[in-house]
Amino acid sequence: MPELAAHVREVPVNQIREITEAAWSTPGAIVLSIGEPGFALPRHILDAGIACLDRDETNYTPNAGIPALREAFADRFRAHNHVDIGAERVYVVDGAQQGLHFAMSLLLSPGDEILIPNPGYPTFAMTSHLLHAVPVQYPLYPEHEFQPRIEDIEALITPRTKVLVLNSPSNPLGAVICEETTRELVELAVKHDLWIISDECYEAFTFDVPHTSPARFDSAVPGEARVFTSLTLSKTYGLTGLRIGALICPPGLERKMNNVMEAIVSCVASPSQYAAVAALTGPQDYVDTAREHYRSNRDAASAVLARKGIPFLGAQGAFYLWADVSHVSGGDVRAWVRTFLADAGVAVAPGTAFGSIGEGWIRIALCGDQQQLLDGVGRLPART
């Protein structure tokens, strides 16, 4: 049998899926390892997708998405980020992960370096490998509240560096990059002529601090703009299975974007697009309810961790808690989470799924039932 391509063989295992699939096959397990919103979808969103099927609107759509959805994404982005963009810069994608792949496909040649956070979402590195690029991890240290520092990133830039990936609010950390640092990061990209891919999947969920998009500080001049913004409705509206998101691109790239989109996925399914229009333009009760649920879960789970003496990062956004279990993980948190699942019936994501700095840490998803969450967190061994 012929071998798979070398760059595919080098793609690392996704440790989040590894522990979650083990949990799914463990009867009665409490699954806190994956970020799956647990609310029923609002009826008006479901009805919009069903109506699309009922009228048999199941043909190809434009590469960039149906006009109504592109305009709805642009309206939301303008309102939330105070950035004057038109719908022509919005490309509807098959979920945020396809949007990240789309952006990296546009920007990276074989051997190019891409700066990704450590700890950071695993597919940043996985997708880079698939495109023959070289992921270079910039550190987010516990002693600096897991915030990016300009000097740490700048020290890693070489002539081969092409892209800087930012993620705020952060998965897995729940950290939010402040306005001043966001501005400095864009200035750093300008100084070294780098592209920025900004993963803003959790932009709807921040607690007591604002979300600041790097696009606020980007140039509006074609040829000088450098920020790609990746958005999704998977987290904001719980549409994980409909696979719908948007990639907002700098001005002047429309023709190239269409060509690459055609080669990757052609277009996104029309029922998902019409459901997304309804989500973005209809009542926003779901988002408000979800935000308060995640805040309540964060506060309740944080209180349990504090009573147990387990250090954690106070989550400012997203719906995760980042907790330090180094007192029991023995220097191999990936192995420990498997043991914890077997012994305690609880699945949490190992910090090493997100990079080497995650050793000794775990990510706890806050998006499910609060009683199950407290039961699961309550089984973590206390620090004595």
Phi, psi for 90 (deg, rounded to 5)? -100, 125
Residue 129: enclosing H or E segment and its boundaries? helix 123-130
CB atoms within 10 A of CB 259: 12
Beta bridge partners of 197: 165, 228
C-alpha distances out from residue 173 to 147, 159, 275, 306, 361, Å? 10, 30, 30, 17, 10
Q: Which of 279, 365, 322, 317 lies closest to 36 in space, CA to CA?
A: 365
Consecutive 10-residue runs of the chain (384 residues): their mean pLDDT?
83 88 95 89 96 96 97 96 94 96 96 98 94 97 97 98 98 97 98 98 95 94 92 94 95 88 94 98 96 97 98 97 98 98 98 98 96 97 92
Q: How many CA atoms lie within 13 A of 293 on its CB side?
A: 18
Residue of 380, 243, 292, 337 lying closest to 17 (CA atoms):
337
pLDDT value, residue 384: 81
Q: How far is CA 280 from CA 28, 70, 90, 320, 327, in A?
A: 36, 11, 14, 24, 44
Distance of alpha carbon 33 from alpha carbon 35, whole angstroms: 7
pLDDT score recorded for residue 252: 87
Given a contact cutoff of 8 angstroms between Cβ atoms, the answer to whether 128 and 114 are in contact is: yes
Cα→Cα distances 361→177, 323, 331, Å: 20, 5, 10
Q: Which helix (H) or strand (E) holds 323?
A: strand 320-324
**Per-residue confidence (pLDDT) for residue 243, from 0 to 100:** 95
CA distance 359 to 111: 28
* pLDDT at site 10: 73
For residues 358 and 350, the answer to whether their CB atoms sit within 8 Å is yes
Contact 240, 37 (CB under 8 A): yes
> Quick one: pLDDT at residue 7?
80
Dihedrals phi, psi of 118, to nearest 5 degrees: -135, 105
Domains of the chain, first to last: 6-41+285-378 (3.90.1150.10), 43-281 (3.40.640.10)
